[in-house]
Structure formats: C-alpha cells, structure tokens
Amino acid sequence: MTDRSSRVVVEVDSGSDTEARAEAAASLQEELLNYQAIEDVTSLEASNVPADAKAIPLVIGAILVKVAEAAIPALVAGIHNWLNRQGEGSVKVTIGGDSFELTHATVEERATLLVAFLQAHSQP
C-alpha cells in the first residue's frame, strides 16, 4: 500500500516588508527541500493552489509543500523548529480546509497547539 500525498500551504510572515517575507519563505523552502519525506516545495501561485483550499490569499511568502500524509507531523515539527530559530514572525499552515497559525506564542504554547492539530489530522 502506498502512502497518499497531501498538499500543505505554508504562509510565512516576518513583518509588513514584502522583501523580508519573500526572504523568510525562501529560507524555509530551502530548508524543507532537505527533508527526505518532502516530495516538492514550490512558491505558491494561482496555478498550483490545491483544489480543496478555502480562500487562501495569495501573498508573497506563501509556499506549497507536497508531502506524504504520514510525514505531516515531521513537516510541521520542521516548520516549528525553523520558526523558533527565526526569533520573530509567524507561519500559517493550511492542510485541506484546516489552518493554524504559529505567532507571538511561547515555544510551549506552540508545541501544545501542534499536538492538538496533529491529533486532529492523524491517520486512523
């Protein structure tokens, strides 16, 4: 049996400066490409928005990640670790119609949110 793939939208916001958002997204994109479970990471454009996405605004700093469903926890943990190293900013992750945003929270608060979100999206 093969593992199904999911398309995950990740929006990076590191302030109102569009150049800073673009640089932060490029940094995260480069890091995610090093993960073995990641099938593809691309800049989000109108042509590659997932069909099941609910009104995702196309903003500078958004990337689309194609990943095996079983690897979503590793992806989210990687995003969480990357954000912690940045020291500021936020990341919004959308899987299907569900989203969560990591922003202005302590590391412990982010971890609690991640556990709850991943439990809701874990395979049966």
**Domain architecture of the chain: domains with CATH:** 5-120 (3.30.70)
What predicted TM-score, i.e. pTM, was given to this entire model? 0.74
Query: Which pair of tokens denotes residue 59?
Result: 């903003």
- Across the beta sheet with 62-68, the strand order is 38-43, 62-68, 5-13, 90-95, 98-103
Reported as a pLDDT band with limits 50, 70 and 90, residue 104 is low
What mean pLDDT, rounded, does the chain reach? 77
- Give the burial class of 30: count Cβ atoms within 10 A of its Cβ; 0-12 exposed, 13-18 middle, 19 or more buried: exposed
Q: Residue range 9-13: average pLDDT? A: 84
What distance lies between CA 16 and its chain's CA centroid? 19
Q: What is the pLDDT of residue 1?
A: 40
pLDDT over 50 at 56, yes or no: no
Give the 3-state secondary structure of residue 13: strand
> What distance in Å separates the CA atoms of residue 57 and residue 22, rounded to the nearest whole number?
15
Burial classification of residue 99, based on how many CB atoms lie within 10 Å of its CB (0-12 exposed, 13-18 middle, 19 or more buried): middle
